[in-house]
Amino acid sequence: MTTPTLTPTIAAEAPTATLVSSHFDALARALDHARRHADHLESWGRELANRLKAGRRLLVAGNGGSAAEAQHLTAELVGRYREDRAAYSAISLHAESSSVTAIGNDYGFDQVFARQVRAHARAGDIVLLLSTSGGSPNLLEAARAAEESGATSWALTGPGPNPLARLCDDAICLDGASPHVQECQLAAIHGLCEVFDACVGKEPQS
């Protein structure tokens, strides 16, 4: 007896192309709105370059997709974005898995970033917090810890106003649904890197 092959079928009329086109259309609208923040992002890129060239540090945190964007940014700064240049101090707080799990176990998940900010941040450092909702309790606690540490806090969030944007020293709020905000976050991060690299120059660290 032949065992039937269980092959999934998709109805011919399923509007998959329409769904993809709709996603791209919504993303285009979100990027159009994000373009309005170009000057703001340029000012962040210049300030980040000034601080890191002076020996300060960038700490970045986010949850889920925003955590991936945070680690993408630190990779561009510690490694390189386009041309060879000096390495700069940038830490993704979620990537410290042993610290995150230990802190979460001992102090609660709300403290997984704040405790690290208190450990690493110094006056003049920048703490960048990425969130699509702007309401994650662990990021709100991290913003409070940044203030206690004398660090400057920036928020890159979804639609505002939101609690994280209000709590940080400066914020850029991107319009759109959560997936499009995450995609715009990546574009914003690359824009930030464009300005950063232009400010620090192309010479590798001696």
**What residues contact 113, with CB distance under 8 A and at least 6 apart?**
61, 93, 94, 129, 138, 139, 141, 142, 145
pLDDT at 70: 97
11 within domain boundaries:
no
pLDDT at 76: 97
Q: Which of 75, 192, 58, 74 is nearest to 124 (CA)?
A: 58
pLDDT at 13: 57
pLDDT at 53: 97
* pLDDT at 5 exceeding the cut of 80: no
pLDDT at 201: 86
Average pLDDT over residues 141-163: 98
pLDDT of 25-76, one tens digit each? 999 999 999 999 999 999 999 999 999 999 999 999 999 999 999 999 999 9
9 within domain boundaries:
no
187 pLDDT band (50/70/90 cuts)?
Answer: very high
| Total domains, the chain | 1
190 within domain boundaries:
yes
4 pLDDT band (50/70/90 cuts)?
Answer: low
pLDDT at 74: 98
Give Cα 6 distance to the centre of its chain: 41
Q: Where are the alpha helices (DSSP H) in 54-135?
A: 65-78, 97-107, 114-120
3 within domain boundaries:
no
Percent of the chain at pLDDT above 90? Answer: 88
Q: Can you give the residue range of the structural domain that contains 98?
A: 43-200
Average pLDDT over residues 96-103: 95
pLDDT at 16: 73
- Contact between 56 and 125 under an 8 Å Cβ cutoff? The reply is yes
- Contact between 133 and 157 under an 8 Å Cβ cutoff? The reply is yes
174 within domain boundaries:
yes
3-class DSSP state of 175: coil
CATH number at residue 119: 3.40.50.10490
172 pLDDT band (50/70/90 cuts)?
Answer: very high
Tokens (6 digits) for 93: 């707080």
62 within domain boundaries:
yes
